[in-house]
Amino acid sequence: SDRAASSDVEARLRAALRLLDGETGGNAERIEAGVREMIAGARRDAALRVLASAWDDPEPGVPRHARRLSCEALIEEAGRGPGAAGDPWAVARLRMVRDQLFRQGIADPRVLRAMLAIPREAFVPAPLVRQAYDPNPLAIGDGQTISQPFIVGYMTEALGLRGDEKVLEVGTGSGYQAAILARMAREVWSIELREGLARRAAGTLARLDCANVRLRTGDGRAGWPEAAPFDAVMATCAPETVPPALTGQLREGGRLVAPVGGS
Alpha helices in the chain (DSSP H): 2-20, 25-40, 44-53, 62-78, 90-95, 109-117, 149-159, 176-184, 195-207, 244-248
For the range 18-26, what are the long-range contacts, defined as Cβ-Cβ under 8 Å and sequence gap of 24 or more?
Answer: 18/59, 18/61, 18/62, 20/61, 20/65, 21/60, 21/61, 21/62, 21/64, 21/65, 22/61
Q: State yes or no: is 263 an active-site residue.
A: no
Q: Exactly one of 147, 174, 190, 263 is catalytic; which is it?
A: 147
Neighbours of 88 (CB within 10 A): 9
The DSSP element (H or E) to which 190 belongs, if any, is: strand 187-192
Distances 170 to 76, 150, 217, 236, 246 between C-alpha atoms, Å:
34, 19, 10, 6, 9
Output the CA angle 204-207-211, nearest 5 degrees. 95
Nearest Cα neighbor of 259 from 134, 180, 171 is 171
Give the 3-state secondary structure of 104-151. Answer: HCCCCHHHHHHHHHCCHHHHCCHHHHHHCCCCCCEEEECCEEECCHHH
* Active-site residue set: 147
